[in-house]
């Protein structure tokens, strides 16, 4: 199974990626992990990326693509992978196809986690972070015993600026603008599988696995 996972902020991509990857016995690969590994290991690409990151600039596409290419060529990804965070554009999707073609492989499916805007705002704006240990809580789904106080360390909880409702809605607008052409591209190719990502975590996982297994079958 070679699949790409897409979905808006707050859709639960990280949670579902872990469950789906475990089910299919494939590595869960995120661009964030790839960047951190290259920077930590001080690879040539990591050192190149670090120059841009330290300057507060975006890492160029060619560096990101080279990192993805190297990661997908590793042994553990030979029989499949779940890729999160790449591609983000139609151009990158075409590059991914070229990378896989060079590896004598192809992309089996793209799984989109669909969540209504109001639900995403509810999920993200209710998140609270501990000043002390950095743990995240939620005013509805994961409440501490004492409101505003972290159970783990007793630190004060706060809402990050990017979790404010108006900021979340803007992030969703940007996501839609950037990702809509990519989703349409994969839909036109018949590779897109959209599932409803609301409800119990295990129910979303079941939908995701069923959608991908239908491709295998």
Is there a catalytic annotation at residue 71? no
CA torsion 152-123-197-177 (nearest 10°) is: -130
Q: In whole angstroms, what is the distance from residue 187 CA to residue 81 CA?
A: 20
Report CA-CA distances (Å) from 140 to 7, 67, 123, 186: 22, 38, 9, 35
191 belongs to the catalytic site: no
Whether the Cβ atoms of residue 125 and residue 163 lie closer than 8 Å to each other: yes
* CA angle, 184 then 21 then 66, to 5°: 65
Task: Say which of 2, 122, 128, 171 is annotated catalytic.
Answer: 171
Mode of pairing for the β-strands spanning 157-158 and 127-130: antiparallel
| Catalytic residue list contains 127 | yes
* Catalytic pick among 88, 159, 169, 194: 88
| Marked catalytic residue, from 44, 51, 78, 160 | 160
- What are the strands, taking DSSP E only, across the chain? 2-6, 28-30, 81-84, 109-114, 127-130, 136-138, 157-158, 192-196
Alpha-carbon dihedral 180, 183, 184, 189, rounded to 10 degrees: 170
The active-site residue out of 13, 122, 128, 207 is 13
User: Among 2, 127, 128, 191, which one carries the catalytic annotation?
Assistant: 127
207 noted as active-site residue: no
The reply to whether 128 belongs to the active site is no
Q: Is 106 helix (H, G, I), strand (E, B) or coil?
A: coil
Residues marked active site are found at 13, 88, 127, 160, 171
């Amino acid at each position: 199974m070679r699949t790409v996972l897409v979905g808006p902020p707050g859709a639960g991509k990280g949670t579902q990626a872990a469950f789906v990857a475990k089910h299919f016995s494939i590595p869960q690969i995120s661009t964030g992990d790839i960047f951190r590994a290259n920077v930590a290991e001080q690879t040539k690409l990591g050192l190149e990326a670090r120059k841009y990151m330290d300057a507060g600039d975006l890492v160029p596409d060619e560096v990101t693509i080279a990192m993805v290419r190297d990661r997908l060529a590793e042994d553990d990804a030979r029989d499949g992978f779940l890729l999160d965070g790449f591609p983000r554009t139609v151009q990158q999707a075409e590059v991914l196809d070229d990378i896989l073609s060079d590896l004598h492989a192809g992309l089996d499916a793209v799984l989109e986690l669909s969540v209504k805007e109001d639900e995403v705002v509810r999920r993200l704006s209710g998140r609270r972070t501990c000043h002390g240990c950095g743990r995240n809580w939620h005013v509805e789904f994961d409440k501490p015993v004492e409101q505003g106080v972290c159970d783990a360390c007793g630190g004060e909880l706060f809402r990050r600026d990017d979790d404010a409702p108006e900021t979340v809605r803007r992030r969703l607008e940007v996501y839609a603008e950037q990702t809509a052409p990519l989703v349409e591209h994969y839909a036109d190719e018949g590779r897109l599988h959209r599932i409803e990502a609301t409800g119990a975590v295990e129910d979303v996982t079941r939908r995701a696995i069923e959608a991908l297994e239908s491709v295998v079958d």
